[in-house]
Structure 1
């Protein structure tokens, strides 16, 4: 679709003001509940259910399915179906299942066709970029040794062990310099453990996904905000990892950005990021007390797993309860700051990356989902250079967005075929470096103007 120049920019600004539709995708409804309440995962699911036309069932493309009887049989675990009931799960269904054999299983639970069009612009044509690449990847996976994933397991297990040892030592030692160094290193180990656990959160239920909850955030909440929201709709109005930071920080271009969010984004992040995990903990648990059905549907005892660490620190070090708690809270705050700084600079916030309101290089009427994913992401060569940084800095980001259930170690083997298909379909795969992304996210926070992204040259 040819860019419309100044005409498009003027229309886009008007759409942003009216908030009746997505700016880039005017055929879609503006997301319900996006700008109200606590902006948490449960509210996002509630708003999505209001817009998706799933009628209390599960929607895949234009069909409605009753999967209640399948929840406990689901190979990926019950969580995914419990969380998504009443919503359109098309994007999740497509990228979480590489084999088309699951279509036969799904067909057994068909109820009827949906009454309304999908409130998502993305398509999955058999001859399109994503399904063509998915078929090639499915064949390539047969050649990759399954043992390669053990490298990822060793990294996260080592990080977690280092966190436990350093946390205990920070209370055990009487030398203040060593104590301060230990808790700071412990916070780094915790942050890296949490980032690395993201590799396991996308997959079928497993014990390592619970390491994410060591941060005091809930892995289940993250499965919504990150896996079901951000991963499937990056940088759109449906991306909770963008909307949740507003009005403190606006990464999408808008003319009416508050002065403080434009000029003081760096300072705001320094103050908010250390508190973010603790804020999530209190919001989630207060919601379990005061919000209807929240406790039964969304709260899990594993949300409290992080409190085992101060108990461990107290038993091993013999320090006072007060000293243990204050040290542990410092560790959690430091880890929260590190985790959010890594995440906000990982791949999606740069002036050359598409944001809601920008006109992308693809046809916005029937965009291929995989093409859009690459339009909204940028890889970093320096991070992708070794597996440790891939695990601890959200590396191999483009491939991970396309095939989130595959281990990061497996993704490395798929790079050649991915690059081949990206060139074949002229998908916008790009690479930069970590420093460029770090500066780029502050440029995005400052930016108020929409852009027109031209078609990539051969």
Structure 2
């Protein structure tokens, strides 16, 4: 008989080709609509609703709830319930609600039990890693001053103001070097304010989440692709921030790949500068490809990204052509910076879990899985500015996404103690290692075996 590891590799590659199940979690259905169309957030939600057995309601664990009457009263804002209606929100409910009172409130909206098993591999046992940690964190939060959030607020607002001022100077300046410096500052501050705005997108409706839209992106779409998809199911087949880059960039280990997949690092240099604009045009094109798309999914804030060139035109006194020209350079550079930061932040490395890798438990604790899919960076977590602009404190942010990044740093003592108790795989490396690891991940064709884990 062949060695167990050789058996697993053969089985894993067969599962990947057949596309009937997740490779690492064969008890799950292959996500509907994953490889179809433009792989946009709305399509992802549609496919998830097909698989989740929520019957048009909201599913939490194995029970269905009718939250229609609660939508206007939801403390986090109506939009969260609007977007997640008809899907299994178990992971979102657990991670977004630390106060145990919410479980009591939820019981008021119970309708009936679900008819099908959950299409998710994760568990939330009372004595498991995540639930016990969540209780400790809830108690710890009571001792942290509310004013801690102000550090993040001031930094984010400062980046926004810097972006506006530098954008104007970049177009207005007659001196080449002043204009060039202003252009660089404007580009980086635009990318950084969008990364910082991500800190607010996870939380209840607030004005700083709209900063994310100034780069032609949509915070509403990001709430789906990032918060409801990537954060809850990182590096699984339900992670839209992995599948959304296919067939341009492949991060899952697969034998059968296009010939150009090995050149991903070069493709990134070409694609990343235009990603903001491509995403904007992709969303616009859906108005012609899907009935009622504009009516159902466009909101007033989708035009915020077009206000930056208007701002440059009005404040710089330059021609409309010069304003648009300057804005395009700033937007494309910011796009390159933003996606370079994101793709090298925490999740793409041969030592990090990806669908296909052999797992020791096909029904892992959700929190334990989050740590398997993340690596933190010691040279980023040492500064709040770097944390806010480079997706720092990544492991804790994944576990408690609604908490401000300034609060997360206070949780390390109990978090590290908890990781040691449960032998959780929390890892810290360097930014350089993650950058090189991301390149290696795009070249990886073989899943990781249990014996290869650190």
TM-score (norm 1): 0.97
Q: How does 1:94-133 map to 2 (within 5 A)?
A: 94-133=94-133
* Cross-structure match for 1:346: 345
Provide the rounded CA distance (Å) in 1 between the counterparts of 2:336 and 2:286: 24
Q: Does structure 1 conserve the Cα–Cα contact (< 8 Å) formed by 2:351 and 2:453?
A: no
* Cross-structure match for 2:310: 311
* Cross-structure match for 2:41: 41
1:402 aligns with 2:405: no
* Cross-structure match for 2:161: 161
Provide the rounded CA distance (Å) in 2 between the counterparts of 1:267 and 1:316: 37
Q: Does structure 1 conserve the Cα–Cα contact (< 8 Å) formed by 2:249 and 2:264?
A: yes
1:383 aligns with 2:380: yes
**Could you list the runs of 5+ residues in structure 1 that have no partner in the other structure?**
none
Provide the rounded CA distance (Å) in 1 between the counterparts of 2:297 and 2:194: 20
**Could you list the runs of 5+ residues in structure 2 that have no partner in the other structure?**
none
Q: How does 1:355-366 map to 2 (within 5 A)?
A: 355-360=354-359, 362-364=360-362, 366=363
Say which is worse superposed, 4-13 or 350-359, in terms of deviation: 4-13
Q: Secondary structure at the match of 2:381?
A: helix
Match of 2:432 among 421, 431, 435: 435
Match of 2:421 among 424, 428, 441: 424
1:270 aligns with 2:301: no
Deviations along 1:160-216, whole A, 9 cap, x unmatched? 111000000011111122212211220100000000000000000100000000110
Q: Secondary structure at the match of 1:5?
A: helix
Deviation at 1:347, TM superposition (A): 0.2
Q: How does 1:26-425 map to 2 (within 5 A)?
A: 26-262=26-262, 264-360=263-359, 362-364=360-362, 366-425=363-422
Provide the rounded CA distance (Å) in 2 between the counterparts of 1:449 and 1:90: 31
Deviation at 1:297, TM superposition (A): 2.4
Provide the rounded CA distance (Å) in 2 between the counterparts of 1:24 and 1:268: 28
Q: Secondary structure at the match of 2:339?
A: helix
Say which is worse superposed, 177-186 or 428-437, in terms of deviation: 177-186
* Cross-structure match for 2:441: 444
Q: Does structure 2 conserve the Cα–Cα contact (< 8 Å) formed by 1:33 and 1:44?
A: yes
Q: Does structure 2 conserve the Cα–Cα contact (< 8 Å) formed by 1:160 and 1:193?
A: yes
Deviation at 1:276, TM superposition (A): 0.8
Provide the rounded CA distance (Å) in 1 between the counterparts of 2:336 and 2:450: 33
Provide the rounded CA distance (Å) in 2 between the counterparts of 1:408 and 1:4: 43
Provide the rounded CA distance (Å) in 1 between the counterparts of 2:36 and 2:444: 24
Say which is worse superposed, 107-116 or 405-414, in terms of deviation: 107-116
Q: Does structure 2 conserve the Cα–Cα contact (< 8 Å) formed by 1:428 and 1:456?
A: no
Deviations along 1:239-288, whole A, 9 cap, x unmatched? 000001111111010001112111x1111111111111111111212223
Say which is worse superposed, 299-308 or 336-345, in terms of deviation: 299-308
Q: Secondary structure at the match of 1:59?
A: strand
Provide the rounded CA distance (Å) in 2 between the counterparts of 1:205 and 1:339: 23
Provide the rounded CA distance (Å) in 1 between the counterparts of 2:239 and 2:267: 21
Deviations along 1:148-167, whole A, 9 cap, x unmatched? 11000111111111100000
Q: Secondary structure at the match of 2:195?
A: helix
Say which is worse superposed, 4-13 or 163-172, in terms of deviation: 4-13
Q: Does structure 2 conserve the Cα–Cα contact (< 8 Å) formed by 1:288 and 1:299?
A: no
Provide the rounded CA distance (Å) in 2 between the counterparts of 1:70 and 1:282: 35
Q: How many positions carry a matched residue from both structures?
A: 452
Provide the rounded CA distance (Å) in 2 between the counterparts of 1:449 and 1:343: 24
Two-structure CA RMSD over aligned residues (Å) = 1.3
Provide the rounded CA distance (Å) in 2 between the counterparts of 1:215 and 1:246: 22
Deviation at 1:146, TM superposition (A): 0.8
Q: Secondary structure at the match of 2:414?
A: helix
Deviation at 1:301, TM superposition (A): 1.1
Provide the rounded CA distance (Å) in 2 between the counterparts of 1:198 and 1:210: 10
Q: Secondary structure at the match of 1:213?
A: helix
Runs of 4 or more, structure 1, over 3 Å off, are 453-457
TM-score (norm 2): 0.98
Deviation at 1:455, TM superposition (A): 9.5
- Sort the Cα spacing of 1:371 and 1:51 in 2 relative to 1 into closer, same or farther, 3 A: same
